[in-house]
Structure 1
Amino acid sequence: LLNHTSGIDGDIFLDTGRGDDCLEQYVDRLAEAAQVHPLGATWSYCNSGYSLLGRVVEQVTGMTWDRAIGERLFEPLCLEQTVTLPEESLLHRTAVGHLGTGPDLHPSPTWGLPRSVGPAGTITASAADVLAFARLHLTEGRGPDGQQLLSAPATAAMAAQEAELPDPYSLGDSWGLGWIRYGWGGRRVIGHDGNTIGQSAFLRLLPGSGLAVTLLTNGGHAQDLYQDLFREVFAELADVAMAVPLAPPEEALPVSLEPHLGIYERAGTRIEIAASDGQGTLRDVPTGTAAELFHGEPEEYPLRAVDASGDLFAVRPPGAKTWRPVVFYRLPGGERYVHFGGRATPLVEGATAPG
């Protein structure tokens, strides 16, 4: 669950109410979820798994997840501007998420995720508090008063490699117990990102140097800002060269998309890969509760080959500078997948689809 290899369909945003039993109800309903890949067979970001972990915390501590994380983490770290519930956010200068870009940028009509998805994405914090959390992992698990909140071996285990990523370009090259792992200029960097409804957050730590950098945004081309800002900061403060984002060559490569044509689907999204007159396209269609919650609309992008392998492509949203990788691959059993947006999505309809 911690390293996102469970295979549980990861974007199930069931709203089971505001009661203290919301996670219990969510986990009961999660039994109905599909398995998008066999246990441990590949890596796919899984929000649902973290809600399940939140329920584990409740069972172990005898408290609600909100109370447990407050007492076990927020209070010892003196995080005075970190909360999990919307009514707590009202007590602080809280930014509202924005959807769209450019002249179409507008406040999101939805504040945040349901309480039942809290362990996956309802923590709201100031930049200073995010850095205070990062300091815990730069000091072998010690709090601001020197208290050992997390053992040194456990802190190291969280940053150690647990899983390789089928797409080593979008996030990092591997995953630990929670942390993303990046290889920048021969140095090992750890971190994590967060994207909810019009909100994007970035955190990177350079173990052994005492350096942590965070960026919290509430709209626009956040990925482009992250690339520009973190590249400059890490180069100037640590002489670390951030990895260059993946991009296709200027001249289009004559690569056939034929082996990958079809429909790939899991909870929350349907990805349609098509080709016409020699031009491939990716159509990303939000579905179900995810479409309602994130106010998603279908988006269609031209696909550009990155190399001659025939499996690595990229798309770029209108107005953005940063390309988004699209990786086609097979599991050991031959099942076909596309990795896009940090998720593994199986082929369900096409020339080589199962069934």
Structure 2
Amino acid sequence: MTSSSEELLPTTQRALLHRIAVAQTEGRAPSFVAGVMRGGRTVWSGARSCVDGHAPDSDTQYRIGSITKVFTAVLVMRLRDEGLVGLDDPLEKYLPGTGVGEATIAQLLSHSAGLAAETPSPWWERSPGSTRPELADVLGEQPALHPAGRLFHYSNPGYTLLGSLVEALRGVSWEEALRTEILEPLGLGRTTVRPVAPHAGGWAVHPWADVMLPEPLEDLGIMAPAGVLWSTVDDLCRFAAFLADGDDRVLSPASVAEMRVPAVPPAAGDGVWGYGLGVQLMRSGDRTFVGHTGSLPGFVAGLWVCVEEDLAAVALANATSGPLAPAVAADLVRIAAEAEPRIPEPWRPLPVAEVDEELLALTGPWYWGTYAFGLRVGAGRSVTLEPLKGVGRGASFRALPDGGWIGLDGYYQGETLRVVRRPDGSVSHLDLGSFVFTREPYEQGNDAVPGGVDEAGWRGL
């Protein structure tokens, strides 16, 4: 079974279907569903095999495991944006007495708080939530294995703490906060804490025989913020669009972009390129993927967003092991991107109201020492500073109310670019974090050049 919009070519659709068909067969999954998002909506979905005797589709629920953590992270970022928490605040400020209160909110979000990866025995993913009614049962006697802030160490208990933080500050359950603050605004009506038909059952497939064993579908209780959710291809494609562009009803584009910035490097052998504030980061070829993997007994899941390609993909299967859902999701993005590259927006001139003669006069070449850069003006008085040859420290800048600009990326992210004028109003130079850019290399007569300029000027040997 496959369904799609007319936006993808038949050859692309077949290539996508072929990829999930191979994944389902080679991974020996009872069923496998997947979808591709472009332009904010699902543009293709496909499925293989059956659930309860029927072909699954993009509205069939599967358990998504640790993709749940991204939802929890969004709830925490909302608290930050409302001024209720600071990312550098210690957990102790809001949840006293946990024993790991020196860890900061940002460290918990990025798995750098030094906490253990798992809870004390028994295996929490196959145990009823009543097994661990309190945080102390989740953290155990030795919750911290590493110094806080020193390295990446994935931690399920860390996200349990973040869920409890949400509850403490909102005064409602994590589930209620999730529903009212994320699911309802984004229209994710098929993303739930408990399964709602139609949904897949979770299966363990015997590694050496074509037989299966049903996995228990436990209510995870206090561990829910780490991995409890059920969702569908359609819902996750909508969520992927949010992770690409933000939505002011939930989280601003700037805050979502902040989540995507690497916070810590990955652990050796972890297989993940890095981790932001609640999202995994991965490089594949020349593409950057943002999203999360997920697994619980009976299910595997993958969600990857490629912002620069305006593409995302979701892959879900109901098997404990075998199908590599995250790898399939990345492959679906690659297939769609290579078969049907993103068509760029048409170039248009600036509106007349945005044309500023003083700003236009700043465009063109500038020199940091002998390094040549070009200044270009964009919409909203934004500017870019780019090396004119070779590799250099280029950056984009957003206009500030006082007339300067703030760096948005690269070496100059967060640094301020300003125009420095002489007493007569003429432009002397650009100042960028103490770096002086002049109209000529080591401009003669410009006292702003650090160290001065030799009066004899340029010469040969």
Q: TM-score range by the shorter chain?
A: 0.5 to 0.7
- Tell me the SS of whatever aligns to 2:313: strand
Per the alignment, do residues 11 and 28 of structure 1 end up closer, same or farther by CA in structure 2, a change over 3 Å counting?
closer
Structure 1 pair 104–6 and aligned structure 2 pair: CA distance change class (3 A): farther
Q: Which consecutive unaligned segments of at least 5 residues does structure 1 have? A: 241-355
* Alignment-derived partner of residue 222 in structure 1: 323
**Structure-1 residue corresponding to 2:384:** none
Match of 1:160 in 2: 261
| 1:44 to 2:153 alignment | yes
Letter matched to residue 160 of structure 1: V
Per the TM alignment, residue 16 of structure 1 is displaced from its structure 2 partner at its CA by: 8.1
Pair 1:58 & 2:58 matched? no
The structure 1 residue matched to 2:198, chosen from 85, 89, 93, is 93
Measured after TM superposition, the shift of residue 231 of structure 1 is 5.5
Give the structure 1 partner of residue 238 of structure 2: 132
1:237 correspondence with 2:328 = no
Change (3 A) 1:211 1:27: farther
The percent of aligned pairs where both chains have the same amino acid is 26
What TM-score do you get using the length of structure 1 for normalisation?
0.58
Matched with 2:112 is 5
Following superposition, the deviation at residue 132 of structure 1 comes to: 1.0
- Is 1:193 aligned to 2:268, yes or no? no
Structure 2 counterpart of 1:328: none
1:180 partnered with 2:292: no
Q: Which residue of 2 aligns with 1:78?
A: 187
Cα offset for 1:18?
5.5
Alignment match of 1:151 (pick from 223, 246, 252): 252
Structure 1 residues 202 and 27: alpha-carbon distance in aligned structure 2, compared to 1, 3 A threshold: same
Q: Match of 1:110? A: 216
Q: CA RMSD in A?
A: 2.5
Alpha carbons 2:301, 2:326 under 8 Å: kept: no
CA contact (8 A) 1:98 1:199 kept: yes
CA-CA distance at 1:239 after TM superposition? 2.9
Count, aligned residues: 225
Q: Partners of 1:188 and 1:161 in 2: how far apart? A: 11
Instruction: Give the number of the structure whose alpha-carbon radius of gyration is greater.
Output: 2
Q: Contact between 1:98 and 1:105, CA under 8 Å: does it hold in 2?
A: no
Unmatched runs of 5 consecutive residues or more in structure 2: 1-107, 340-461
Separation (CA, whole Å) in 2 of partners of 1:107 and 1:73: 35
1:111-135 Cα distance to aligned partner (Å, 9 max, x none):
1352111000101101111111111
- Output the CA distance in 2 between the equivalents of 1:165 and 1:209: 24
Alignment of 1:192-341 (within 5 A): 192-219=292-319, 220-223=321-324, 226-227=326-327, 229-230=328-329, 232-239=331-338
Q: Secondary structure at the match of 1:165?
A: coil
Report the residue type matching 1:149 in the other structure: V
1:34 and 2:34 are equivalent in the alignment: no
- C-alpha change, 1:70 and 1:18, in structure 2 (3 Å) is farther
Alignment partners' CA distance in 2, 1:56 and 1:68: 11
